[in-house]
């Protein structure tokens, strides 16, 4: 655990460079080292992660951006109640969830009425 409040007094930039240099002697790239440290620190619920973020924060952020797919969404206005809802970009839905359930019930009733009369 390093006190990161005053970077110049504790000379943290030098410490971070030395830590990165020491880890680079293992032969792994910075990205792989960052992945291993994240797995160890977060996988084993370790408490002190400030130095990881100080030394390898940009590598961690780049890895997250590369590996996490963000769903594309759009907003539609329900044709029954008028409420605005967020749906998947590829969705063809025209109703909010509750109105869609009511519509499904209505369609089932109509189908049952036609087939049983």
Instruction: Please report where in the chains the tokens 């963000």 appear, as a residue.
Output: 70
Q: How far apart are the first and last CA of the chain?
A: 77
The domain total for the chain is 2
- pLDDT for 17 equals 85
pLDDT over 60 (residue 82): yes
- pLDDT for 9 equals 56
Is 53 contained in some domain? yes
For 41, the domain range is 7-67
In angstroms, the CA 68 to CA 60 distance is 12
Pair (106, 83) in one structural domain? yes
Pair (59, 109) in one structural domain? no
Task: Give the pTM.
Answer: 0.51
Pair (55, 34) in one structural domain? yes
- pLDDT for 104 equals 96
Q: Which helix (H) or strand (E) holds 74?
A: strand 73-77
Q: Model confidence over 18-73: pLDDT tens digits?
A: 888 999 999 999 999 999 999 999 998 888 888 888 889 999 999 888 888 888 89
Pair (59, 78) in one structural domain? no
Pair (14, 40) in one structural domain? yes
């Amino acid at each position: 655990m390093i006190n990161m409040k005053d970077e110049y007094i504790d000379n943290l930039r030098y410490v971070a460079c030395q830590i990165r240099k020491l880890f680079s002697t293992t032969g792994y790239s910075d990205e792989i080292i960052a992945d291993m440290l994240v797995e160890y620190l977060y996988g084993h619920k370790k408490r002190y992660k400030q130095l990881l973020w100080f030394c390898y924060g940009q590598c961690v952020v780049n890895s997250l951006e590369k590996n996490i797919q963000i769903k594309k969404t759009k907003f539609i206005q329900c044709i029954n109640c008028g409420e605005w809802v967020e749906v998947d970009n590829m969705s063809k839905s025209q109703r909010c969830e509750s109105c869609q359930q009511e519509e499904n019930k209505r369609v089932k009733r109509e189908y049952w009425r036609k087939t049983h009369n």
